[in-house]
Amino acid sequence: MTQEVSDSKIHFRCSKCQAKYSALPEQSGKKGICKNCGAQIKVPNPDSASSKAGDAAITVRRIWIPQTLASVMLAWALNPDNPYGYYILLRWVCCGVFAYLAYQAFDQEKQGWVWALGITALFYNPIFSVHLNRELWSIINVITIGIAGVSIFALRFEND
Ligand SMILES: [Zn+2]
């Protein structure tokens, strides 16, 4: 069965302001500027557009893996027998993960999360190390796991 071209317009939204657009299938992959907010928009291919946002699905999938990685590493860091090198690795991973998440929050215009995640990233930055005793770090690690866990839902919510 062939697709009816006249009836198969691609419906999609601007990823920034959610303005609605439609385009012909042959325009798939073309780029343009959103008339509403000026962001760059791209006509998706017909398959991903009809399932309401292949984009959103990708974002959701992309965004829980770093939190989980950071949480597992933070939980493991509570074990007092870890070598010092582990904490250096932990700093790099946490700084990277939370900087990435802060960027995602910025992209989704979640100001509160930009701050929370950005400050967390700074706290773990490996260049200007924050020196605290082990007990304090343990508490902060647990809090960070909480931030990571809640951010999975907070950042994902925007895309649903
Ligand atoms: Zn827009």
23 C-alpha to ligand 1 centroid (Å)? 15
Residue 72 sits at the vertex; the CA angle it makes with 71 and 75, to the nearest 5 degrees, is 85
Are 44 and 68 members of one domain? Answer: no
Number of domains the chain contains:
2
Please name which of 93, 95, 100, 101 lies closest in space to residue 73, comparing C-alpha atoms.
93
2 C-alpha to ligand 1 centroid (Å)? 33
User: Which pLDDT tens digits describe the chain residue by residue (160 residues)?
Assistant: 443 444 578 888 998 999 999 888 888 889 999 999 999 999 988 765 444 444 554 444 557 889 999 999 999 999 888 898 999 999 999 999 999 999 989 988 889 999 999 999 999 998 887 788 888 989 999 999 999 999 988 886 544 4
Are 111 and 84 members of one domain? Answer: yes
Does this model's pTM top 0.75?
Answer: no
114 C-alpha to ligand 1 centroid (Å)? 21
Are 68 and 97 members of one domain? Answer: yes
**Secondary structure (3-state) at 43:** coil
5 C-alpha to ligand 1 centroid (Å)? 26
Alpha helices in the chain (DSSP H): 46-50, 54-77, 84-107, 111-123, 134-157
**Secondary structure (3-state) at 29:** coil
Are 42 and 103 members of one domain? Answer: no
35 C-alpha to ligand 1 centroid (Å)? 7
Are 144 and 66 members of one domain? Answer: yes
Please name which of 93, 41, 74, 72 lies closest in space to residue 143, comparing C-alpha atoms.
74
